[in-house]
Every structure is written in C-alpha cells, then in structure tokens.
Amino acid sequence: ILNVEQSPQSLHVQEGDSTNFTCSFPSSNFYALHWYRWETAKSPEALFVMTLNGDEKKKGQISATLNTKEGYSYLYIKGSQPEDSATYLCAPMNYGGSQGNLIFGKGTKLSVKP
Amino acid sequence: EAQVTQNPRYLITVTGKKLTVTCSQNMNHEYMSWYRQDPGLGLRQIYYSMNVEVTDKGDVPEGYKVSRKEKRNFPLILESPSPNQTSLYFCASSFSRGNTEAFFGQGTRLTVV
C-alpha cells in the first residue's frame, strides 16, 4: 500500500491569508494524483486530477503543482475565505496490480476565521 | 443532474443482521468503488469494480461483499455485520480507473451494536 503523507494535519488561518499544504507520496510507477475538498457533513468533491510532472492546475483561488520525480504535490489557496474551510485530501495512484487504485491521505483540515 | 446516490444515509443495526447499502450512478461510469472513513485514518478502499461483473478487493475487504450486475449499481453487502464495521461509508464512481475525477455519494453512517 502506498504511503501518503499530508502536512500539516490542520491549519487555522485568518480570512485573507494565503496558505499551502503538502502531499508526499512514493514517486515510483506514478500514474495520477487527485486533490479533493471535503466539507463537513458533505461528500468529497474533486478539485484536480494531475498526471504530468511539472503540471500546474488552477480553479479560482486554488491551485496545485505536481512533482512526480520527487513525489510531492502542493495545494495553494490565495486569500482564504471562510467558505474554504474544509478538509483537503490528496490521493495518488501508482501503476500496477493492487497499487492501481487511489490511496487517500488523512487530509489537511483548514479552518478560516472571518 | 449527474450524481451518485447512496441509501440509506443512516443505519443502526445489530450484530449479525445482514444488510445492504445501495449505490447508483447516472453518469455511465465504468469504475465504481466503496470506501470507509474512520477517525484518524484516510479513506480506505473496500472493493472496486472496473465494469459489469468485474469486481476486486481493495485494502480492507474482510466482512464485505459487492456485486456489479448492472453498470449503474454497485451495492455493498455486509453478511454478518460486527461492531468494528461501524463507520462512514462512501460509494464513488469515475469514468476510468485513475486519471478521471471520482464522484462521491452522500455517505452512509452505519452503526453496528
């Protein structure tokens, strides 16, 4: 099973602050990396699916980068708003056999205070 | 509206009483999977299905069964539930196995007493 590490575990910021989280994963046989946003009492929703080394994706004030050679991805939120409060999950996937499924990290829980 | 529908949303049951959690998607997705979420752990995959009549074990399959007789439906079956299966369960579907986004159902909160 892939070892997926997300840091920090939790983060408290003020409205307007910019923030970033890290997802680390084994770089061998990399296939894809997903980011999901999970609000309390709701279902996880996809933010990004990234497959190429050096990929950079953006959705509104949220962006993500991917380094498959060293096995990490960053998620950035510019000018956090209270509605950005959620748990952010990353899920890498590697090639082959039983590893060919998404493995979710424990997430980074973001709280944005007004 | 594109969606994944799980039922029931909440369920309290007793040890040993068979139950089924249904999952249905209307997006013609080939890939479906079941996850459980427990405190302090990430979402862990129970079973997945690549297509009709093709299912396989995930990371924590013990005590669960699934079937995929139709493309849209992927029920999760607990033949003899035990308290350690108390958890939050999510069904998810995607167009393909890993390079397309997954759509999650609303979740089923199961308590086994």
Higher per-residue pLDDT: B99 or B7: B7
Q: Are B29 and B13 in contact (CB under 8 A)?
A: no
Q: Which residues of chain A have pLDDT under 50?
A: 98
pLDDT value of residue A27: 87
- Strands A108-113, A10-14: parallel, antiparallel or unpaired by DSSP? parallel
Q: Is A103 on the interface with B (CB under 8 A)?
A: yes
Q: Are A60 and A46 in contact (CB under 8 A)?
A: no
A34, A89, A93 member nearest B101 (Cβ): A34
Question: Looking at the predicted structure, is the pLDDT value of residue B94 above 80?
Answer: yes
B43, B99, B106 member nearest A104 (Cβ): B43
B43, B98, B106 member nearest A93 (Cβ): B98
pLDDT value of residue A5: 95
Q: Is B16 exposed, middle or buried (0-12, 13-18, 19+ CB in 10 A)?
A: exposed
Q: Which residues of A touch B102 (CB under 8 A)?
A: 34, 36, 44, 46, 102
pLDDT value of residue A101: 82
Split at pLDDT 50, 70, 90, the class of B104 is very high
pLDDT value of residue A96: 61
Interchain proximity B42–A106, CB inside 8 Å: yes
Amino acid letter at A82? P
Split at pLDDT 50, 70, 90, the class of B99 is confident
What is the average pLDDT across B48-64?
Answer: 94
